[in-house]
Structure 1
Amino acid sequence: YTRIYSQKILDYFVVFSSISCGRGNAGQTNYGYANSTMERICEQRQKDDLPALAIQWGAIGDVGMVIENLGSNDTVIGGTLPQRMTSCLETIDYFLQQSTNIPIVSSYILAEKLQKTSGSSTISISLIETIANI
């Protein structure tokens, strides 16, 4: 019954997921599965010609767990930086304006190359090299 009405009156159906669902994160299996469930709902809604979009967010800056517990907006988490709130709002607007039938999208800020100091010289280390050495 609700699907009949939602098709007529809903322009958007958006859920916020996490990149831990699509890429994994140690200790967050249940969280990843819960986000995956929301994403499967969006996939099914799109198959049924209903509006649906799941946005997998990386760490969010300015507010929340990362800022309160792990540091600042410059804290590198799993090779990413917290995405500032203004960027999140612009990203939502961008995703909602797309006319594609992609039910799941991601938004995160990739950290730039890390630098390691060795004595008096600085060595650039790419993100790929850093991850490969974990």
Structure 2
Amino acid sequence: RRLHVTGVTSHPTREWTTQQAGNLATDLGTRTEPPRFLLRDRDGKYGEAFDTVFQADDLRIIKSAPQAPRMNAHCERVTGTIRREALDHILITGESHARHVLNTYEDHYNRHRPHQARDQLPPEAQ
């Protein structure tokens, strides 16, 4: 599992999330093994246009059950990891600062941070 940070905003909208979906779909196109599905919650920010971006790449869209955070455990876990390892130790001063912190953490997570499920290797290690 790799971490992808596509954007930062304090006021996400349907249009913004659709644009971020397009950015992510472009980035995922460079992977050797394409993803098979997208698990997302039922937030109103994710509309049909958001789903269409991924369905164009033959991804199956799976919506989590209402009010069921355990159904999306991988996302909840990585969100908690980001909070504990990065955001709890830094006072974020704005969107550009948040973008910088998250991009730095993304690099650390994918290239250097040990992952127990991978025998203490980062996701990008051979």
Please identify which structure carries the higher helix content: 2
TM-score (norm 2): 0.27
TM-score (norm 1): 0.25
Give the structure, 1 or 2, with the largest relative contact order (CA under 8 Å, sep 6 or more).
2
Larger Rg: 1
